[in-house]
Each structure stands twice: as structure tokens, then as C-alpha cells.
Amino acid sequence: MSTKLQENGVSEGWNPENKIVIQSLSKVYEINSTREDGKNQFLAIEDVNLVVNKGEFITIVGPSGCGKSTLLDIIAGLSKQNSGDIFIDNKKITGPDLDRGIVLQGYALLPWRTVRQNVEMGLEIKKVPKNQRKEISTKFIDLVGLSGFEDRFPYELSGGMKQRVAIARALAYDPEVLLMDEPFAAVDAQTREALQDELLRIWEETSKTIIFVTHSIDEAVALADRVAVMSVNPGTIKEIIEIKLPRPRRVGDLKASTEFSWIRHKVWESLNNGQSEINKNEKQDSIDLAEEISSSTVL
């Protein structure tokens, strides 16, 4: 077993505390090229190893294009890796399943369905009887603070309310894991902080295992038990930072603490080292291009 695997918590045999185990995951995309064969390969993520424990809230940060969303898509079963494995409760993931709920930045609500009908989508897929669907949807609509809005359509809701509906829909069919890909990026700062507090409250009440992708260091630190920092492309998990801040948390109060500032700086420092690698690579690319132009001019 590799040292990197052990550093990220992966050990031989199955630990009953583990919820998700990611082992040596890599993803390559075939892209169009001007080469003679018309094909080129883009290595999105390489040798990703991670363990997420039951009921843990883990956030993933990294530079743009490092493969955060690609990793989440593979965990969700929406994309297929080229090598490596992912296990949930010691069962290998081979595709999408109702043991995983997904919340995206774009809400993905059906405009012709009401709030209640959107929340009940997963329950319909599971063929839950209509009377039970109503009982369950009422519970989760109330959980996200939207009681009284059951019969509204998406166009009648604010961005923050739409995201609450998306969270309720993901939770209603009782998935084991909640996967969230920058769910609050499209809302204003005040609404974002309110939704963060709301999510923390829901997580504390439901004890779901959450993997949350974000570009915001503040958000990553405020929400998580641990922050996984990804490197520049090809993305891999370069560091995992434990967040030893007390719970329950209120995001606004938390940001005012010196402990928060110190951990935030630690995450920023890890990311900034990665940015230095990007700048170095870009500089080298510019030098190579200049030399190529110079050579062609001489010829």
C-alpha cells in the first residue's frame, strides 16, 4: 500500500467507521486535437486517495480546473474513472444510485413542478406511495424552512429558496451520502452565509455524510471537519487539513475567531503553493513558445 494512501486515511481491510473509500483514482478525457490522428488526452485527476468517515463533513478546495467537480461526478456515478476504485460501505460504485444525493450550483429544479412535486421526485423513482410521499416531503420542506411554499413554482422563488428546495429534494429519499458541487456560488454573500448556517443545522440533525466542493476558503473551513486541498492539474489530494473548531457552529461568529483565521491561512498557504506551480508552468510555456517563434523566424 502506497504512503499517500496511508496519509489520506486508506488502510488495508475495511474499517466500519469508513463511509467512502477512494483508492488510486485517475480520469483521462479524450479531446479533439489538430494532430494527425485527431485525438489527444487530458489527464484530469491522478492517483486520488481519500477516506471519508460516517457522518463526516468534508470540503474539497483547489485551483480552477484541478478536477474537483470531476471527482464529485465519479463519486456520484455520473462519470467513469479510467483507473482506481470507490467504495461506499465496502461496496464498489459502478454507477448512479439512490444512496447518493446530489446538489448542484444550478438548482436543477423542474419549472413545471411545484416545490412539493420537486422534492418528491426521488420518492416517485423509489415508488413510495403517494400518502407517504406527502408526509416525507412535508418533513423536509419544513426542515429547510419553506413551510407555506409547498405549492409555489420555481419562478416564484428566490435563488436561496430554490437551493433550499434542491437540498430538501436530495435529502427526501434518504441517501447515505450528500454530494454538493458549489451549491451556494450563485447567491449573494448574505444569502450564502444564511444557507451555510442552514446546511450545518440540517447536517447536525440528519448526520449525513457530506462531500462539499467549493472555491471559497472561508466556506470550506467554516463547514468542514476536514478540508482536502487538491493540487494543480492533474489534480490529486496534496494535503488534508483537520478543522478543530467547536460545534455547533454559526458561520458569522466563527469567522471572527483567531482560530478560524489561523486555519484559513493554513488552507490559503497550501493553495498558494499550488498557484506558484501554475505560475511557474505558465512562465515556462511562455519561454518555450518564444523560443519556438524565434527558431521559426530564423528558419
**pLDDT, tens digit, 9 for 90 and up, residues 195-244:** 999 999 999 999 999 999 999 999 999 999 999 999 998 899 999 999 99
Q: Would you give the DSSP letter of residue 231? A: P
Q: Which residues contact 148 (CB under 8 A, 6 or more apart)?
A: none
Task: Say whether the peptide bond before residue 96 is cis (omega within 30 degrees of 0).
Answer: no
Which class in CATH covers the domain with range 3-99+175-298? Answer: alpha beta
How far is Cα 167 from Cα 201, in angstroms, rounded to an integer?
Answer: 12
How far is Cα 66 from Cα 270, in angstroms, rounded to an integer?
Answer: 14
Q: How many residues does the chain have?
A: 299
Instruction: Report in angstroms the alpha-carbon separations of 253 from 59, 199, 246, 267.
Output: 20, 16, 12, 19
Which triple of cell numbers denotes residue 123? 420518492
Of 21-35, 55-69, 161-175, which range is least confident?
A: 21-35
Mean pLDDT of 254-270: 94
Q: Is the pLDDT of residue 291 over 70?
A: no
Q: Is the pLDDT of residue 82 over 80?
A: yes
Long-range own/partner contacts, residues 13-18 (CB < 8 A, 24 or more apart): 14/87, 14/90, 15/51, 17/53, 17/54, 18/51, 18/52, 18/53, 18/54, 18/90
pLDDT category at 246 given cuts 50, 70, 90 is very high
Quick one: what percent of the chain has pLDDT higher than 70? Answer: 84
CB 147 within 8 A of CB 141: yes
Listed by start position, the domains of the chain span 3-99+175-298
pLDDT category at 12 given cuts 50, 70, 90 is low
Residue 52: the pLDDT is 97
Mean pLDDT of 167-171: 92
In terms of Cα–Cα distance, which of 112, 153, 140 is closest to 198?
140
* Average pLDDT score, the chain: 86
pLDDT category at 297 given cuts 50, 70, 90 is very low
